[in-house]
Amino acid sequence: MPAVLPYDLAPGDFARIPVTVHPPASPARGVHWLRARLGNGVFDVARLLVGVDAPETVTATWHDPAALVLRPGQATELRLDLATDAAGPVTADVHLISPWHTWDLFPVPFAQVELPAHGGTTLRLPVRVPDGHEPGRWWALCRITHAGELHYTEPITVEVTA
């Protein structure tokens, strides 16, 4: 089967294309991924479980203290440690969620992260308090999605002082 399958679909159409996968003679134990990717970045995945009974896990924990206290004009970053036990890389989407009063504090509220097999990475999310931002105390958390799975971090406190 070729690595690339051409298609030309009109709106509302679909195509059914059989695909045969031939695994190695002795695949590594764990969760592996079979990915089908379109040229525009859209993809679908299927989990292949080898010697395990459950899907992979993805963990997300704040690297820093559970509270940010900043004044207008200050900047820092939030660090989120992400890891997986999957036998292959995992692509995760991370969305920072907070009340609308704080949206201007987080200039990068979304990131796509590739977690290496049996490994992890630290995602750095910038935080900038604009001059004149009103004082207040709010919360923020991250929603992590990957291959139909959904996780939320613990919330952190975000405080802007006068």
C-beta separation of 47 from 33 below 8 A: yes
State the amino acid at position 19 in one-letter form. Answer: V
Residue 2: pLDDT band (50, 70, 90) is low
Q: Strand, helix or coil at 100?
A: helix
- CA angle 147-66-107, nearest 5°? 65
Residue 6: pLDDT band (50, 70, 90) is confident
Domain count, the chain: 1
Q: Residue 149 sits in which domain range?
A: 58-160
**pLDDT per position as a tens digit, 96-155:** 999 999 999 999 999 999 999 899 999 999 999 999 999 999 999 999 999 888 999 999
Q: Strand, helix or coil at 56?
A: coil
User: Taking residues 31-46, what's their average pLDDT?
Assistant: 76
Residue in the structure block whose two tokens are 């995945």: 45
Whether the pLDDT of residue 14 is over 70: the answer is: yes
CATH of the domain at 125: 2.60.40.10
State the amino acid at position 79 in one-letter form. Answer: R
